């Protein structure tokens, strides 16, 4: 209901979320009335959004935030509400007239792959024609992948970010599957990411609300603390757009600290815009790096072991940045699970990192 989104906008403005960089409040599927109006326009459900989307957008904007909305490239949304097929220009104009700032464009009920691609292209052009700056969130490659390899160069021409894999759920197995998929396909997806276009690890909605700063399920119930740290650290490494799928009115201080951690967000939002990648895997340990501006690197050591206690992983600093990250010397700062200065190391040094099961240690080198 509109009340939920008003209350979430209030919390975002009052409790530091907006100031941390989370700026979009986004409505997912099921916001619509079951039919279009007499002019063929989408309309909000009159019971749950009695004031209409324009008024909600005005309220969200008054809090210094932006509003996102959902539609679908096919003739129906994934939940069966009216899709945008044959209405791309009209829907784009409607969203712009309401003051919408982001469109999540799903790919259900799209028919053929040709219609899917044409729909995503058409809506991109239609949004641009409105003259309003609207972030365009696509699911184009996810719906292509079962049949053909996506052309990411083309997708980036039209979309600002795009989902590649299944919905994230509030569980460790879901987070792990996304990380495994990303590592397996990094040769095709890492190189395309950068300012203006991003790989989005997930776009699942657990509570019907997501907040832009991909989808962070931190602050719900399915992840342990170490697993929540892993998700935050690895989404930063992957240069993922950060969406939270949780109820900010009822969130623990620990989850709030993690989601608002300025050092992690700075890595995620690094202006160089390069996506990180896995550089080695040794039994249960994975070593990832992400090039940052200022010749720095973010480094994540992930322990996939699910039983037992903390274990040590030792690696040479010559592994990092093709041997250049620490040449001739470098400072190492731990960011997660707690901030700590590790001091200065030479190029030929090794680091030994203790990592909890399903946990991650995030470093900046």
CATH code at position 57: 3.20.20.70
Asked if 13 contacts 64 with a C-beta cutoff of 8 angstroms, the reply is yes
CA distance 304 to 321: 23
pLDDT digits (tens, 9 = 90+) for 216-244: 555 566 789 999 999 999 999 999 999 99
The pLDDT of residue 11 is above 80: yes
Distance CA 86, CA 70 (A): 16
User: What pLDDT is recorded for position 201?
Assistant: 86
Spot the catalytic one: 106, 170, 200, 270: 106
314 & 260 share domain: no
CA distance 323 to 348: 10
pTM for the model stands at 0.92
- Lowest mean pLDDT segment, chosen from 50-64, 78-92, 210-224, 244-258: 210-224
Residues 150 and 212 in one domain: yes
Each residue of 275-331: pLDDT tens digit?
999 999 999 999 999 999 999 999 999 999 999 999 999 999 999 999 999 999 999
What does the pLDDT read at residue 167? Answer: 72
- Would the pLDDT of 204 be above 50? no
- The two tokens of residue 254 are 């620990």
The predicted pLDDT at position 220 comes to: 60
- Say if strands 24-27 and 209-212 run parallel, antiparallel, or are unpaired: antiparallel
CA dihedral 309, 315, 317, 322 (to 10 degrees): -120
- Number of domains forming the structure of the chain: 2
End residue of a domain, out of 227, 253, 269: 269
Checking if the pLDDT of 127 tops 70, the result is yes
Q: Is the pLDDT reported for residue 107 higher than 50?
A: yes
Range of the domain at 205: 2-269
Catalytic status, residue 10: no
CB-CB contact of 219 with 256 (8 Å): yes
- Does residue 208 sit in the same domain as residue 295? no
**Together in a domain, 68 and 153:** yes
Same domain, 23 and 169: yes
**Domain shared by 130 and 251, yes or no:** yes
Mean pLDDT of 156-168: 88
Q: Is 88 in the same domain as 194?
A: yes
Are residues 179 and 328 located together in one domain of the fold? no
221 and 105 belong to one structural domain? yes
Position 165 confidence tier, pLDDT thresholds 50, 70, 90: confident
Among 167, 180, 226, 247, the one annotated catalytic: 167
pLDDT at 208: 31
Q: Are residues 216 and 283 in the same domain?
A: no
Residues 234 and 285 in one domain: no
Give yes or no for residue 212 having a pLDDT over 70.
Answer: no
Note if 37 is an active site residue.
no
Residues 301 and 357 occupy one common structural domain: yes
Token output for 356: 């909890």
Mean pLDDT in the chain? Answer: 93
């Amino acid at each position: 209901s509109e009340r939920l989104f008003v209350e979430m906008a209030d919390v975002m403005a009052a409790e530091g979320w907006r100031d941390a960089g989370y700026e979009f409040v986004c409505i997912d599927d099921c916001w619509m009335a079951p039919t279009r109006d007499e002019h063929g326009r989408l309309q909000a459900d009159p019971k749950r959004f009695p004031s209409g989307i324009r008024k909600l957008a005005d309220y969200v904007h008054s809090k210094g935030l932006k509003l996102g909305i959902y539609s679908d490239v096919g003739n129906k949304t994934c939940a069966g509400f009216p899709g945008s097929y044959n209405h791309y220009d009209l829907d784009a104009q409607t969203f712009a007239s309401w003051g919408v700032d982001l469109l999540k464009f799903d790919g259900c009920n799209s028919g053929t792959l040709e219609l899917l691609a044409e729909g995503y292209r058409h809506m991109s052009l239609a949004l641009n024609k409105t003259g309003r700056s609207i972030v365009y969130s696509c699911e184009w490659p996810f719906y292509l992948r079962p049949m053909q390899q996506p052309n990411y160069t083309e997708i980036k021409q039209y979309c600002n970010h795009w989902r590649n894999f299944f919905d994230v759920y509030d569980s460790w197995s879901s987070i792990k599957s996304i990380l495994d998929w990303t590592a397996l396909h990094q040769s095709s997806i890492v190189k395309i990411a950068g300012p203006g276009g991003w790989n989005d690890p997930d776009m699942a909605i657990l509570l019907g609300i997501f907040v832009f700063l991909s989808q962070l399920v931190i602050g719900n119930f399915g992840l342990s603390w170490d697993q929540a740290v892993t998700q935050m650290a690895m989404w930063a490494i992957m240069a993922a757009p950060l969406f939270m799928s949780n109820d900010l009115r009822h969130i623990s201080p620990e989850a709030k600290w993690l989601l608002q951690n300025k050092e992690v967000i700075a890595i995620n939002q690094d202006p160089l815009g390069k996506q990180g990648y896995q550089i080695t895997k040794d039994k249960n340990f994975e070593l990832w790096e992400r090039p940052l501006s200022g010749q720095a690197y973010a480094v994540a050591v992930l322990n996939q072991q699910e039983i037992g206690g903390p274990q040590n992983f030792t690696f040479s600093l010559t592994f990092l940045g093709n041997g250049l990250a620490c040449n001739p010397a470098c400072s190492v700062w731990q960011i997660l699970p707690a901030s700590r200065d590790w001091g200065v190391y030479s190029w030929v040094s090794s680091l030994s990192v203790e990592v909890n099961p399903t946990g991650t240690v995030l470093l900046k080198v």
